[in-house]
Amino acid sequence: MRKILVPTDFSTQAENALKVAAQLAKKYNCEIYLLHILEIPLHEIDPMSSYSNLPEAIYFMKLARKQFQELKTKDYLEGLIIHEHVEFQEIFKGIFHICKKHDIDLVIMGSNGASGLKEMLIGSNTEKVVRTSETPVLVVKNEHKDFKVNDFVFASDFKDESKATYEKAIDFANVLKAKIHLLMVNTPNKFITSAKSENRMQKFVEAFDFSNYTINVYNDLSIEKGIMNFSQSINADLIGMSTHGRQGISHFFNGSISEDLVNHAKRPVITFKI
């Protein structure tokens, strides 16, 4: 892990994400890429002009630069390499562009919890970023003065297509020196016996040279509740799951579950694209 992207609208929630990024950057010698998105309505644009020539764009660009400079004076960023970027496009497209251009290893976004990502990242944008990002996305709810991950829940249906994302989760766990708690949630509508669930999970992990894990089958009324309740029961530091591009969460996770977890879980959530 060498490059971390933090989208910011300069809100408290975005700064919470930046503080986590700063801790990881100092610990693992990473560079931080700050991204601010300027979304200008298309109907206001002269077809013969460009975004950067619009008076509104120039004003907000200058404002963003000023806010960047103020942000970079924070004590917790001292000694870090910070890159600034302003994009004139939709949020998830801007994030995708910067990730590709600079080979970003991790995206960290701030959230204010149940009401979604405040101001900059609101409503469907949360799901779009999580669903479309090929780079792992870590969503942070609160301020973490000391961000540590000792217990990392990875929830899945443990079918073969999730192996690629589990490999990414292992890489992340190895960096943080965290124990992974593999979790399969049984619900009344999609019930599998504990024996079959554990057998599937055992076969799944045989493909990996990683031993710092536990296997867990949890019964609950819904997948979302099962993930959150199990995570609470072991006081997990992080919840991880797989996403499946534009088709939503593959089989085990549908779009609503991914967005609900990102918005409602009290703990940080990280997603890996299949």
Question: d(Cα 64, Cα 59) in Å, to the nearest integer?
Answer: 9
pLDDT band at 238 (very low <50, low <70, confident <90, very high): very high
Does residue 246 carry a pLDDT above 70?
A: no
Report the predicted TM-score, pTM, of the whole model to 2 decimal places.
0.86
Terminus-to-terminus CA distance in the chain, angstroms? Answer: 19
Q: Give 242 or 180, the one with higher predicted confidence.
A: 180
**Which of 172, 177, 175, 84 is CA-nearest to residue 135?**
172
Q: Which regions of the chain carry the CATH code 3.40.50.620?
A: 3-140, 151-273
pLDDT tens for 6-65 read: 999 888 889 999 999 999 999 999 999 999 988 665 444 444 445 555 666 677 778 888
Give the model confidence (pLDDT) of 88-116 as tens digits. Answer: 777 888 899 999 999 999 999 987 654 44
> Of the candidates 61, 83, 77, which has an alpha carbon nearest to the alpha carbon of residue 15?
77
pLDDT at residue 62, rounded to an integer: 84
More confident residue, 212 or 131: 212
Superfamily of domain 151-273 in CATH is: HUPs (3.40.50.620)
* CATH ID of 3-140, from 1.10.1660.10, 2.40.33.20, 3.40.50.620, 3.40.220.10: 3.40.50.620
